[in-house]
Structure 1
Amino acid sequence: MTVTCSTGLTRRGLLGAFAATAVAAAPTFSQAAGFLRGAGDVRRVKMYSGRTGESIDMIYWIDGKYIRESLDEIHHFMRDWRNDQVKKIDSRTIDIMAATHDLLDTTEPYMLISGYRSPETNAMLRRRSSGVAKNSLHLQGQAADLRMSSRSVSQVSRAAAAVNAGGVGRYSRSNFVHMDCGSVRSWGT
């Protein structure tokens, strides 16, 4: 269904008009906490999946309000790609990802390694690796594992830690950073 404003613009058209302002709303490191409390006008997430070949460049928050249709697309994008199960991704995790991306000062999208994980997928990964938590926040839709080719694991993890809003795991040997909306903590090398 397409929603049309009284001006004749569709919601998607209106969102596109705001896309150009996303860079201007990017916070500095000292403004990261304010960004999560609503200091910006626009929030945007940019990712691609090497597993599915999909990409997303989505404005999901404007002037203090989440855009439900945009969040629904993000939930689908971050699904368990092994079995296509979709779970709502906690908006706090999406906010952490967006704030971290803005702090990195790049237009490169994240590469999504893992978003939501079904119980079956998490159990399979646990059998293969000791680094997978039994009660992973991925199971709750509260975590994402992300990579960028233009930024090191150290750079991405420092930016995520500067947001000071959740867990940050550094996985240098596997070349990704874990971000979640759990308690503020960090681990890894």
Structure 2
Amino acid sequence: MSKSTQSVISRRGILGVFAATAVVAAPTYSNAFGLLRGAGDVRRVRMYSGRTGESMDTIYWVEGKYIKEVLTEVNHFMRDWRTDQSKTMDPRTLDIMAASHRLLDVSEPFMLLSGYRSPQTNAMLRSKSGGVAKHSLHMVGQAADLRLKSRSVGQMARAAEACASGGVGRYSGSNFVHMDCGPVRHWGG
């Protein structure tokens, strides 16, 4: 076994201990830090994809540091499933997702409908729906469209808006919430 493989296994072993003992995810950035002050020193993201059948339940931040190997796995998980292309996802979006999930007080993972979108996919979706932005933050790895069975669009949106750390779109007709790390704004009904 190579030295680098041993390092990854050791780090993952340590992360497993953190995952087993962690009670809550840490706050996100910006205003969410004040909102969830003292919530812990780890950040966790839980989601699954109905499109690919994949799921993820992982700690991506420990004691002030993002875990590079885990972020790489998140990038792959949040890829454009239509083109199988991935992009580096902005970890601030993960922070908003983690803080929102914590505020919702659920164990159910988010269903990821859309993470990264290639320009081709975004153009195709835009041609079919007026609700797709021409310069979508999905194309730069800064947005996610999410759903929970156990919570309404309104509940999810209010949790994301409480973070005051990015954009929140309510898509009640399609039963999902858009979360991004762009400017603070909200839309939809």
The two structures have a TM-score, normalised by structure 2, of: 0.91
Partner of 2:7: 4
Partner of 1:155: 155
Rounded Cα–Cα distance in structure 2 between residues aligned with 1:37 and 1:122: 37
Cα distance in 2, alignment partners of residues 163 and 23 from structure 1: 20
Q: Are positions 1:32 and 2:36 aligned together?
A: no
| Structure 1 residues 38 and 181: alpha-carbon distance in aligned structure 2, compared to 1, 3 A threshold | farther
CA–CA distance in structure 2, aligned partners of residues 137 and 36 of structure 1: 26
Task: Give 3-state SS (helix, strand or coil) of 1:20's partner.
Answer: helix
Where does structure 2 lack aligned partners over 5 or more consecutive residues?
none
Contact 1:22-1:44 within 8 A present in 2 as well: no
Whether the 8 Å contact between 1:2 and 1:11 is mirrored in structure 2 is: no
Q: In 2, are the aligned partners of 1:161 and 1:168 still within 8 Å (CA)?
A: yes
SS at match of 1:151: coil
TM-score by length of 1: 0.91
Query: Is the Cα–Cα contact under 8 Å of residues 24 and 102 in structure 2 kept in the other structure?
Result: no
Name the structure 2 match of 1:143.
143
Deviation readout 1:86-115 (Å, 9 max, x if unpaired): 100001101101111111111100000000
Residue 20 of structure 1: CA displacement?
2.7
Question: What is the DSSP-based 3-state SS (H/G/I as helix, E as strand, rest coil) of the residue aligned with 1:92?
Answer: helix
Partner amino acid for 1:133? A
- 1:97 paired with 2:97, answer yes
How far apart are 1:35 and its partner, in Å? 6.8
> Is 1:185 aligned with 2:185?
yes
Provide the C-alpha distance between the structure 2 equivalents of 1:105 and 1:39, rounded to a whole number of angstroms: 13
| More divergent stretch after superposition (34-43 vs 97-106) | 34-43
Match in the other structure for 2:62: 62
| Contact 1:26-1:103 within 8 A present in 2 as well | no
Residue aligning to 2:75: 75
Counterpart of 1:99, as a letter, is: A
RMSD: 2.0
Stretches of 4+ aligned residues off by more than 4 angstroms: 35-39
Q: Secondary structure, in 3 states, of the residue corresponding to 1:19? A: helix
- Identity score, percent: 70
Output the amino acid matched with 1:2: T
Report deviation, 1:117: 0.2
Mark the CA change 1:99 to 1:3 in structure 2 (over 3 Å): closer, same or farther: farther
Residue aligned with 1:108, SS: coil
Instruction: Summarize the Cα distance change of 1:58–1:35 in structure 2 as closer, same or farther, 3 Å threshold.
Output: farther
Q: Is the 8 A contact 1:167 1:184 kept in 2?
A: yes
